[in-house]
Chains A and B, each alone.
Chain A
Amino acid sequence: MSDRLSVLKTYKLYVGGKFPRSESGRVYEVTDSKGKWLANAPQSSRKDARDAVVAARKAFGGWSGATAYNRGQVLYRVAEMLEGRKAQFVHEVADAEGLSKSRAAEQVEATIDRWVWYAGWTDKIAQVVGGGNPVAGPYFNLSSPEPTGVVAVLAPQESSFLGLVSVVAPVIATGNTAIVVASERSPLPALSLGEVLATSDVPGGVVNVLSGRTAEIAAPLASHQDVNAIDLAGADEVLAKDLEIAAADNLKRVLRPQPVDNWTATPGIDRLTAFLETKTVWHPTGSLGASGSSY
């Protein structure tokens, strides 16, 4: 068997269901944990970030308006596609995080399971955090969770795939659309996730993946007037403070960096509820007759 030269992949952004290069034309070198060249990833610009916001906004109506059952089906489909591409992700995660093949496989399997876990949440969260309120008056009144809108997600820097999915899946499971800034040093699993989403049934624009310098991409997202919320998981302390200040301009919901020791632990519903609003709808109940029983 002769040595075959492998065909390398050109990694591209995933925005609005398409795979553009950065409009800036820039790339940066991505290496494995030992410094060996892996790929040239797109280095997104402020313009790329703004384009992603436009795509995410455009997708919001359809995605948030889809039934929870439908969103669950779509998300489960993503898990199916991830399973099929497991080998690729094991390879990428091993390279990105310097893990052995078996450790990387554990990470990838945990990631797929995490995605399945969130897929099952789409049609349950409303029952867990919403419900009828026993008001003291002749009114029917119901509180329901609704997606916050367009959410910027700074993916964790260290956990390139499990961490990534742990912050992206809850955002879209609840009907938000997302602009995801991949781990700066290890963006390749995130960019490949874009390919999986594109071949699943997730509508274009629901998830948009940008790679590059986290601080550079995050700044315009944090100050963008059409972004409703931001998850600062991938920001260090100094950057997180700056971004939180910028986010105050339109009172974005801010999820501050949380201390996470172990992404493999069962996450709980905090990341689902972080990007939900509560709407309370009232209506008079009326009465069936002027006289007679009030029952």
Chain B
Amino acid sequence: MASAFDYAPAPESRSVVDIAPSYGLFIDGEFVEAADGKVFKTVSPSTEEVLSEVAQAGSEDVDRAVKAARKAFEKWSALPGQERAKYLFRIARIIQERSRELAVLETLDNGKPIKETRDADLPLVAAHFFYYAGWADKLEHAGFGASPKPLGVAGQVIPWNFPLLMLAWKIAPALATGNTVVLKPAETTPLSALFFADVCRQAGLPRGVVNILPGYGDTGAALIAHPDVNKVAFTGSTAVGKEIARTVAGTRRKVTLELGGKGANIVFDDAPIDQAVEGIVNGIFFNQGQVCCAGSRLLVQESIQDELLDSLKRRLSTLRLGDPLDKNTDIGAINSAEQLSRITSLVEKGAAEGAEPWSPECELPSSGYWFAPTLFTNVTQAHTIARDEIFGPVLSVLTFRTPDEAVAKANNTQYGLSAGIWTEKGSRILAVANKLRAGVVWSNTFNKFDPTSPFGGYKESGFGREGGRHGLEAYLDV
């Protein structure tokens, strides 16, 4: 695309990170092969290049890791909080020191732009460990009783959209509260979690406190069903979340679920249009829209629809899609061939049902998994693309006339994770925010995260909160 906005390539060097040709499972402080010797390959979504071969954990490995975590739990939970705190502070510092390596690694394995891993993911990852480090020796002041106790072994299953950030959200509060963990990263993005094992080694973390088991869904299912796991934490799809809720039924296992979303981004006629456009773009095209709290439904007041869409389309035309390692790239690769086909089929369905797709002129690289930023107009609430989570760079535009209608449409979903409000009128922000059934409401901003702030869903977006004081509760016997 030739335009005034052609930029010279500005690639981040990938030589800052060493990727081994193969990795084992991280159990009891050591890298080991899977019991049945199974391995799988992880590829770079932007090039389809094989990055490494990774051991694939089976149920025997799950059992071994849970035993290691159980054994480590005794000592870890008995450590004075201040000692646990210092381990977590160490981990936070090492992550800061090695954040360039980690950012490149994450971009290679996930396909998201280096701009995002470097400026959003990694600073937040370090911040989460810093935040929860400070809780480890203050738990009696957290409002959960005089001496809140850890639960034991936490089985944690995380998704591929924010591999390292989700690891931090799960591991930091678990360790701060005195639990030990067995974590399964997603099959398409295992590398940063395995790298994290090395961070634990450098920090001198006792063996068995953190165990990492790469694998597919069956590995996660085995971990969650393991009878000696006391706490289950999952981030991922609503369908899998429901399966997990059934699995833990009738047990004493505590569970938190962070699931899908279909966030409404509501733009009123008095909104600051330029800021709103930036917020809409950030809301749905951040991480190629592979974000559970993405603002995937744009609700725009009818009177400003044309003005807003013109502005939005103009802005989309300036987004740069391509090499994720290029520091100028806004839109990277879709994480996997499987996810790409899911997005493609939903988008085809949207068009078949009568919604009108639009994409900026956009050349897609010849190898790798790519999808051009897309917006749909002429969308009704009955359309599949207005109801199902697409988890890709696809925005559905709906309109409304009154604030009541906006709220009704925003809430007309099985999900309840996020929402956005754009208006200059403070009382309207508060009135609408009050009525939205969503766990996080961003007003005149979008996709802001902070370790001090509880995050989680209403309705079928799951239960429990991560982040903040609230995030401790999931890992305490309260």
- The interface-forming segment of B11-19, B34-42, B244-252, B335-343 is B244-252
- Given A134-B452, A141-B453, A143-B454: A278 touches B246 (CB 8 Å cut-off): no
| Among candidates A129, A141, A249, A278, residue contacting B456 with C-beta atoms closer than 8 Å | A278
Cα–Cα distance between A215 and B93 once the two chains are bound (Å): 54
Cα–Cα distance between A228 and B442 once the two chains are bound (Å): 24
Q: Given the complex, which residues of B lie within 8 Å of A281, measured CB to CB?
A: 433, 440-443
Q: Is B438 an interface residue (CB 8 A)?
A: yes
The answer to whether A277 and B450 touch across the interface, beta carbons within 8 angstroms, is: no
The answer to whether B452 and A133 touch across the interface, beta carbons within 8 angstroms, is: yes
Q: Is B59 an interface residue (CB 8 A)?
A: no
Q: Is A169 an interface residue (CB 8 A)?
A: no
Cα–Cα distance between A283 and B453 once the two chains are bound (Å): 13
Q: Given the complex, which residues of A lie within 8 Å of B249, measured CB to CB?
A: 241, 244-245, 247-248, 254
Contact with B along A225-262 (1 / 0, CB 8 A): 00010000000010011001101111101101000000
- Given A241-B250, A245-B246, A248-B246: A135 touches B453 (CB 8 Å cut-off): yes
- The interface-forming segment of B204-212, B354-362, B387-395, B460-468 is B460-468
The answer to whether A136 and B450 touch across the interface, beta carbons within 8 angstroms, is: yes
The 6 lowest CB-CB distance pairs between A and B, nearest first, are: A241-B250, A248-B245, A244-B249, A135-B450, A133-B452, A133-B453
Q: Is A35 an interface residue (CB 8 A)?
A: no
- Given A129-B143, A139-B448, A277-B458: A282 touches B442 (CB 8 Å cut-off): yes
Q: Is A284 an interface residue (CB 8 A)?
A: yes
The answer to whether A237 and B453 touch across the interface, beta carbons within 8 angstroms, is: no
| Among candidates B241, B429, B450, residue contacting A141 with C-beta atoms closer than 8 Å | B450
Q: Which residues of B contact A (CB under 8 A)?
A: 127, 143, 238, 241-243, 245-246, 249-250, 252, 257, 259, 414, 429, 433, 436, 438-445, 448, 450, 452-456, 458-460, 462-463, 465, 468, 470, 478
Q: Of all chain A residues, which has the CB nearest B252?
A: A256
Q: Of all chain A residues, which has the CB nearest B460?
A: A251
Mostly, the A contact residues are mixed
Interface size on A (CB < 8 Å)? Answer: 34
CB distance from A13 to the nearest CB of B (A): 28
Mostly, the B contact residues are loop
Q: Which residues of A contact B (CB under 8 A)?
A: 128-129, 133-137, 139, 141, 143, 148, 228, 237, 240-241, 244-245, 247-251, 253-254, 256, 270, 277-284
Q: Of all chain A residues, which has the CB nearest B249?
A: A244
- Given A137-B448, A282-B445: A251 touches B463 (CB 8 Å cut-off): yes
CB distance from B274 to the nearest CB of A (A): 14
Q: Which of B444, B450, B456, B462 has the most CB of A within 10 A?
A: B450
CB distance from B475 to the nearest CB of A (A): 16
Cα–Cα distance between A136 and B467 once the two chains are bound (Å): 13
CB distance from B248 to the nearest CB of A (A): 8
CB distance from B465 to the nearest CB of A (A): 5
Cα–Cα distance between A248 and B468 once the two chains are bound (Å): 26
The answer to whether B444 and A284 touch across the interface, beta carbons within 8 angstroms, is: yes
The answer to whether A251 and B455 touch across the interface, beta carbons within 8 angstroms, is: no
Question: What are 16 contact pairs spanning A and B, CB under 8 A?
Answer: A133-B452, A135-B450, A135-B452, A136-B127, A137-B450, A139-B450, A143-B454, A143-B468, A244-B245, A248-B245, A248-B249, A251-B238, A253-B463, A281-B433, A281-B442, A281-B443
